[in-house]
Amino acid sequence: MGQDRGRGQRFIDSLNDGRTVWLNGVTVSDLQQHSAFQGTLKTLSKLFNSLDEEGVQERIGFVSPRTGRYVHNSFLVPRSVQDLARRNAAFTYWAEETNGVMSRLSDYARSMVTGWYAIREEIQRFDHLFADKISRYYESARDNDLFLTTALLDPQINRSKRLDEQNPDAVLRIVAENKEGVIVRGAKMIATGAPYTHDFLIFPYHRVQEFAPQYAHALIVPGNSSGLHIVCRESFASVDEDNHPLSSRYEEMDAVLIFDDVLVPWERVYTRYYPRAIEILQQIGAGGYIQVPSDVSELNGPISRLMHKYFASSKNSAELKTRLFKLAWDLIGSPLGSRHGLYERFYAGDPVRMFANQYLNYDKDSLTKSVWDLIYSHI
């Protein structure tokens, strides 16, 4: 593995970036030299090198418009049936090269970033900085062969309690903000492929209610962030390729991510969810929303002189201020506004029933037949 200084080796070298990886109670300073990671890194190195292999690179990649080098098709924005087929071919190739054992080869998280980039103009309506941020990140991830993964689930501490009824650090939350970014504290799991991931895509997997906006965030966190601890489970890797041909090559490794007051730059902080936007409007307007006349026409009524004097702001007339506050109230406090808040949380339906329906209606026989065939073969 040390002989190859191509794209694969550059990927391995890039992991020596000061990240904090814990295994068996100690930190791993050099992943490449550790038996728990050697086999997997060798496999990943081969996959990365395939982007420079004639006859293969055309199947799994496309030429970056910025660098002129082949990049992986997980970053290809599909605009036709042919593009979808090209993406499928790339995923199929990597899956076949790993015998279908490695489920998190970055194509999943990379595709998520590509999806955000593809619909950036739509999301821009809710966050005016989103399009520029995601465009810069997408191009950087694409052209620098960044390996990405997600960490979406919360630790299993006490799921019988609401967020505000348990240890506030049980779930990842924003504890402070400054000019550089947001500071987050808490934990996320299960981050498959975490030890050799450049960046983590972090956001809530479940609905966040409006009473807990500090838990509503969408972040892309560098793997070498100060205060980020990558705590690995027991390794299942083997160094015996003859007797353990799979575990010697394809041990992806799972980890819990502990965020000990990690600073995430604003450039990596993406769209906040709807409840957070509502809370911001509530905080800005505060009690002012209920300190406006019942009707704008009252400004020109019998006490017009007093109304214009006491309902004006330092920069706007009483009429402009009143119309502004009534517009905001229509979004956050009116029946229409309440409907929108409810819609944003439940427009996809009851998540519990959705999962139950998927389970009940799925053709499970196709999945269980091979199991029963194997059992009956010995009876």
User: H/E/C letters for each residue in 197-239?
Assistant: CCEEEECCCCCCCCCCHHHCCCEEEECCCCCEEEEECCCCCCC
> What CATH number corresponds to the domain at position 187?
2.40.110.10
Average pLDDT over residues 37-52: 95
In the predicted structure, residue 347 carries a pLDDT above the cut 50: no
Exposed / middle / buried, residue 196 (Cβ in 10 Å: 0-12, 13-18, 19+): buried
Structure-block tokens of residue 232: 């690995």
Give the distance, in angstroms, between the CA of residue 190 and the centroid of all CA atoms in the same chain: 13
Same domain, 182 and 308: no
When divided into structural domains, the chain yields a total of: 2
Cis omega (within 30 of 0) for bond into 190 = yes
Is 58 a member of any domain? yes
pLDDT for the residue numbered 343? 45
Map residue 316 onto helix, strand or coil.
coil
Name the residue range of residue 286's domain: 273-379
Query: CA 146 → CA 40, 131, 223, 318, distances in Å?
Result: 16, 20, 11, 53
What is the CB neighbour count within 10 angstroms for residue 323?
15
Structure tokens at 57: 């690179």
Q: How confident is the model at residue 2 (pLDDT cuts 50, 70, 90)?
A: very low
What would you measure as the largest C-alpha separation in the chain, in angstroms?
A: 95
pLDDT one-digit tens code per residue, 299-342: 888 888 877 887 788 888 888 888 888 777 766 776 556 645 65
**Are 245 and 142 members of one domain?**
yes
In Å, what is the CA distance from 272 to each residue of 8, 133, 141, 147, 349?
A: 35, 14, 22, 24, 21
- Domain membership of residue 300 (yes or no) is yes
For 202-253, what is each residue's pLDDT tens digit? 988 777 777 778 888 899 999 999 999 999 988 888 888 777 778 888 888 8
pLDDT of residue 366: 81
Task: For residue 1, tell me if it sits in a domain.
Answer: no
Closest CA to 223 of 131, 140, 150, 138: 150
Residue 298 has pLDDT above 90, yes or no: no
* 236 & 347 share domain: no
Cα distance between residue 95 and residue 104, in whole Å: 10
Same domain membership, residue 189 and residue 257: yes
Domain co-membership, 99 together with 186: yes
The residue count of the chain comes to 379
292 shares a domain with 247? no
φ, ψ for residue 200, nearest 5 deg: -110, 135
Mean pLDDT of the chain: 85
* Dist. CA 209–CA 344, nearest whole Å: 11
Q: How far apart are CA 95 and CA 87, in angstroms?
A: 12
- Do residues 343 and 228 both lie within one domain? no
User: Which residues have CB under 8 Å from 215's CB, separation 6+?
Assistant: 163, 171, 172, 173, 174, 204, 208
One domain for residues 204 and 346:
no
Q: Indicate whether 138 belongs to any domain.
A: yes
pTM (predicted TM-score): 0.71
Residue among 190, 169, 181 at smallest CA distance from 259? 169
Mark whether 254 and 158 lie in a shared domain. Answer: yes
| Residue tagged 């499970």 (tokens) | 364
* 174 and 58, same domain (yes or no): yes
The per-residue pLDDT for range 77-112, each reduced to its tens digit, is 999 999 999 999 999 999 999 888 887 787 889 999
pLDDT of amino acid 338? 63
Which of 270, 289, 317 lies at the terminal end of a domain, its last residue? 270
